[in-house]
């Protein structure tokens, strides 16, 4: 065993895939999750893949006493990967206080508890949203591209959290941090035992797309085809969730095995390829042979026209690279949707 890692939001989409990779790498995982956008069945899915049941506590990270109780119950937690957060951009516009409380208080609680329990590092789940719409000279985006004013309360919480981590590390806190800025994670584990399963109507592209393809939703709305891109739809860097999960294991190794002297580092996690919404629909249809009913509608407020990563820094410094093809990735998303149907979930 390599050590105990606390994964907040570990029953969620990226958290569950990361738990699998941590266990495969020999870490012992303790999950805390309030199940606000996930389901405890995910723990079974993780166990089916790895043969190991992670410890699970239904705890909300904004509850300081309950979170402290987790550190007492599982002594010797060496590192934290902090996923637990609310992430629906539109909802954040209507419920800003919910977002500020959830996404900021949970981080404050963790950072305050870390020294007392001698936790050596925290990997933080951030987003390319901190770059806003980069001007063309900054595309593809490196880690040194300017941070721009957030377009939503959700985006602002990620920026504020990054600043809180920066200030805490600069104050001489006795731990290290790695901030991972994700581009657009999609797909599911190749076993189809875990995947993305948002509660309610999906806000993100791929879960909506697969639900439309299987007939749960009438049709996918493509938000705008009049952008200044080759086919008029928005461009994103869609990264396979398992590739993304592996970057977390490398980051936690990097901290715990003292592979760097840096107390704080930032990495962009993307493939380096920009794909349009229509391009993704096309890749899905071509790979799976399944049609996606869709129609073009107006732009979604707050959407960025185009952004994709320059992943070179992560490739070189972390020795990590996204390796899964877009075809295998969309196929994995479809296999997961079929599995949900088989299980009668949706
Ligand atoms: C957004 C956030 C990102 C956050 C992520 C988490 C911004 C600018 N981006 O990513 O920071 O981490 O959510 O949820 O704040 N689309 C459709 N139809 C749909 C759904 C989406 O056409 O039904 C399009 C969108 O217009 C966009 C692309 O698909 O061009 C991807 O959308 P989505 O999956 O929601 O992710 P982002 O908006 O890129």
User: Encoding tokens for residue 92?
Assistant: 């954040």
Ligand 1 surroundings by CB, under 6 angstroms = 87, 89, 127, 129, 152, 155, 184, 203-205, 208, 220-223, 234, 236, 277, 300, 303-304
Tokens linked to 60? 């909300």
Average pLDDT for 42-64: 98
- Atom nearest to 307 CA in ligand 1: 39
Q: What number does the ligand 1 atom closest to the CA of 233 have?
A: 30
Q: Sign of the C-alpha dihedral, residues 189, 30, 246, 82?
A: positive
Domain ranges of the chain: 4-186+238-270
Tally Cβ neighbours within 10 Å of residue 55.
17
pLDDT in tens, 300-331: 988 999 999 999 999 999 999 999 999 999 99
Cα–Cα nearest to 122, from 84, 66, 68, 72: 84
Nearest to 120 by CA among 250, 20, 246, 4: 4
Ligand 1 atom showing the smallest separation from residue 128 Cα: 11
Cα separation values, 28 from 23, 110, 271, Å: 6, 19, 29
Distance 2 CA to ligand 1 centre (A): 36
CA 285 to chain CA mean position, Å: 25
**Could you tell me whether strands 264-269 and 27-33 are parallel, antiparallel, or unpaired per DSSP bridges?**
unpaired
Select from 3.40.50.300, 3.30.420.40, 3.40.50.720, 3.40.190.10 the CATH code of 4-186+238-270: 3.40.50.720
Tell how far CA 319 is from the center of its chain. Answer: 20
Phi, psi of 110 (to 5 degrees): -65, -45
227 flagged as catalytic: no
**pLDDT tens, position by position, 95-149:** 999 999 999 999 999 999 999 999 999 999 999 999 999 999 999 999 999 999 9
| pLDDT tens per residue across span 241-265 | 999 999 999 999 999 999 999 999 9
Beta bridge partners of 5: 29, 79
């Amino acid at each position: 065993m390599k050590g105990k890692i606390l994964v907040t939001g570990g029953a969620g989409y990226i958290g569950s895939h990361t738990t699998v990779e941590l266990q495969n790498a020999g870490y012992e995982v303790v999950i805390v999750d309030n199940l606000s956008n996930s389901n405890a069945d995910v723990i079974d899915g993780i166990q089916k893949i790895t043969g190991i049941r992670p410890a699970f506590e239904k705890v909300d990270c904004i509850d300081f006493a309950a979170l402290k109780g987790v550190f007492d119950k599982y002594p010797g937690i060496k590192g934290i990967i902090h996923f637990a957060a609310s992430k629906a951009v539109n909802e954040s516009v209507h419920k800003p206080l919910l977002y500020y409380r959830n996404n900021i208080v949970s981080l404050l609680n963790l950072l305050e508890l870390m020294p007392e329990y001698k936790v050596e590092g925290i990997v933080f789940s951030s987003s390319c949203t901190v770059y806003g719409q980069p001007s063309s000279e900054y595309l593809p985006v490196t880690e040194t591209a300017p941070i721009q004013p957030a377009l939503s309360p959700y985006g602002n919480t990620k920026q504020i959290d990054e600043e809180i981590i920066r200030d805490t590390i600069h104050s001489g806190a006795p731990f290290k941090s790695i901030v991972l800025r994700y581009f657009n994670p999609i797909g599911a584990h190749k076993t189809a035992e875990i995947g993305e399963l948002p509660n309610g109507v999906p806000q993100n592209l791929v879960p909506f797309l697969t639900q439309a393809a299987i007939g749960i939703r009438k049709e996918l709305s493509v938000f705008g085809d009049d952008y200044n891109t080759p086919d008029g739809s928005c461009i994103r860097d869609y990264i396979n969730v398992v590739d993304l999960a592996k970057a977390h294991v490398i980051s936690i190794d990097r901290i715990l095995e003292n592979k760097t002297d840096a107390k704080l580092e930032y990495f962009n996690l993307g493939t380096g390829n920009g794909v349009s919404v229509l391009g993704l629909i096309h890749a899905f249809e071509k790979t799976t042979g399944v049609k996606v009913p869709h129609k073009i509608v107006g732009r979604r407020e707050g959407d960025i026209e185009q952004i994709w990563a320059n992943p070179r820094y992560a490739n070189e410094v972390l020795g990590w690279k996204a390796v899964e093809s877009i075809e295998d990735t969309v196929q994995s998303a479809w296999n997961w949707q079929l599995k949900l149907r088989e299980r009668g979930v949706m």
